[in-house]
Amino acid sequence: MATMKLAAIAVALLLPLVAGVASADEFDFFYLVQQWPGSFCDTQKGCCFPDTGKPAPEFGIHGLWPNYAKCRPAEPELVDDVEMVVDGVPAIGRHHRRQKCWPEYCNDGNQLNPWEIKDLVAELDSHWPTLSCKSGRSMEFWSYEWKKHGTCSGMDQHGYFAAALELKKRHSLAAILADAGIVPSDEESYFLSSIRDAIADATGAVPNLECNRDAFGETQLFQVYQCVDRAGKKLVDCQLPMQGMCRDRAKLPVF
């Protein structure tokens, strides 16, 4: 009887630990996130080109991110006189419950093995380049994205990157916008509704949009979020609202 009680206590103690670990199966859809390089670079921080040189003036992959259809409460945390952000609002106190809207870092031990994606490197250099000044090596960017998001995708390393590349190659966002008269310009601005409608009409799925600010504080289109089914193959309408720092109009700066 004592042994059974000890076993029950051990299981009870382990359950919270297990519950706090993200599962590769616990998501509802993917975001394929592509960023406009002109908007990445045209900020006060600027950008740096990768070792392979200046990327083409095309939207580049930021990541393929598993996401929840509805945010869920994270594990409660005890905090003593430490400022936390709850739903975007700073708060001080104890027992604050954070919101978790996507899984991440599902297997820290599963590091990206460059050998696994060796046949994809040339395509990744073209379609998924880094613009960060921390390092000119895109492999470090891909390794981070794999560790944070890819390990939660339910795919192996090669399958994850191949899926993102295949999704991106189906539609050139820059060409879609150009066909709608939305072209890079340092003077013109465009209605966000026109950008969204052009992408939706061409791809058959409504995207979400994210904006940032240039060095003068003007709004510019930064990233396009395309929603993808759990298999990582089919574009679907994005259902979750996204403010994304956007206003009615945004620029698409020249790159």
Catalytic residue among 62, 127, 171, 210: 62
Residues in contact with 161: Cβ distance below 8 Å, sequence separation at least 6, in sequence order: 117, 120, 124, 128, 142, 146, 150
Q: Is 145 a catalytic residue?
A: yes
Q: DSSP characters for 137-199?
A: -HHHHHHHHHHHTGGGTTS-HHHHHHHHHHHHHH--HHHHHHHTT----SS--EEHHHHHHHH
Q: Is 62 a catalytic residue?
A: yes
Q: Is the Cβ–Cβ distance between 29 and 229 less than 8 Å?
A: yes
Catalytic residue among 127, 145, 171, 210: 145
Residues in contact with 13: Cβ distance below 8 Å, sequence separation at least 6, in sequence order: none
91-114 b/e (C-beta count within 10 Å ≥ 16 → b): eeeeebeeeeebbeebeeeeebee
Q: DSSP characters for 63-94?
A: EEEEE-SS-EE---B--SS-EEEETTEEEESS
Q: Is 26 a catalytic residue?
A: no
State how far the Cα of 163 lies from the Cα of 160, in Å rounded to an integer.
5
Catalytic residue among 58, 95, 123, 149: 149
Q: Taking the alpha carbons of 224, 184, 189, 178 in that order, is the dihedral positive or negative? A: negative
Q: Helix, strand, coil proportions of the chain in percent (round to 5)?
A: 35, 20, 45
Question: What is the set of active-site residues?
Answer: 62, 145, 149
